[in-house]
Amino acid sequence: MTNEENQDESFISHLEALRQTLLKCLYSLAIVFPVTFYFAPKILNSLINIILGSAKISLNYFSPVEVFMIQIKIALVIDLIICFPYIAKQLWDFILPALYDNEKKFIKSVVILSSSLFCVGVLFALFIILPLIIQFGLSFSSGQIKAVLGISNIINLVLWMCVVFGLMFQVPVITYWLIKSDIISYNTIADKRPYVIVIILILSAILTPPDVISQVVLGVPTYLLFEAGLLFSKLKNNSD
């Protein structure tokens, strides 16, 4: 058998392994989904209670299947969250043989830190940021102006803001990875703080609703996380 035939056979075996890995991931999502869909109404009520808090206001829906579609969306999101550890393990097992020992250690630490920060970002958005945004919006209500909130708009806002804050909380990981991989030096990125601030402000304005409160509460923690990433990288380099 020639080298070219060996390479083709190896490539086909890798594709088959990838297919099996993806199928396992899809099977896990399919198995857990009925359970998450069963609890979706309770999860929806809990989200509404967290977001609205003590506000004396009810949400409205404008289509017979609107709430049902929201419950499906929530069930899919919770399904993905529950299955994420299993999916991550399957993907990790797939790429593990191609990595060196130092790469395995580095990627494992980054994945753990990244997952933890994403969860913290979601909780921060859910319990702190979103209630502030809702209260800010309701503050414009008066005798002549009444707030009529649609449930789809609120839930879409909840899901979007949770994803945004989860991703923005990855800033320390990105900073550490850039420095650790020697893509950019610590001194270079530290000297670019003014540019980083501008980029964070622009992203905050794009990713959040058009109000100053949500932009500030996203921008300030993101910059503090950037500084935390710099400090961690500096301490790590000194210890190495």
Taking every pair of C-alpha atoms in the chain, what is the biggest distance, in angstroms?
A: 84
Task: For residues 52 and 232, give the distance between their C-alpha atoms in angstroms, rounded to a whole number.
Answer: 37
Paired residues of 59 in beta bridges: 149
Q: What is the pLDDT along the chain (240 residues), one digit of tens a residue?
A: 555 555 555 667 777 888 888 899 999 999 999 999 999 999 999 888 888 876 777 788 888 899 999 999 999 989 988 888 888 878 777 777 766 776 667 777 777 888 888 888 888 888 888 888 888 778 877 778 887 888 888 888 888 888 888 888 888 888 877 777 777 777 888 888 888 888 888 888 887 777 677 778 888 888 888 888 888 777 766 665
Buried b / exposed e along 76-98 (16+ C-beta atoms within 10 A): ebbbeebbeeebeebbeebeeee
Q: What is the pLDDT of residue 103?
A: 66
**Do the strands 59-60 and 149-150 form a parallel or antiparallel pair, or are they unpaired?**
parallel
Identify the pLDDT of residue 35. 95
DSSP label at residue 215: H
How far is it, in rounded angstroms, from Cα 42 to Cα 19?
Answer: 35
Q: Give burial (CB, 10 Å; 0-12/13-18/19+) of 11.
A: exposed
Cα separation, 88 vs 110, whole angstroms: 13
Backbone angles phi, psi at 142, to 5 degrees: -150, -170
**For the whole model, what pTM was predicted?**
0.75
Whole-number Å distance between alpha carbons of 10 and 85: 28
Rounded Cα distance between 175 and 231, Å, is 10
CA distances to 49, 156, 169 from 116, rounded to whole Å, are: 25, 23, 9
Helix (H) or strand (E) holding 149: strand 149-150
Check if the beta carbon of residue 232 is closer than 8 Å to that of residue 172.
yes
Q: Give the pLDDT score at 8.
A: 54
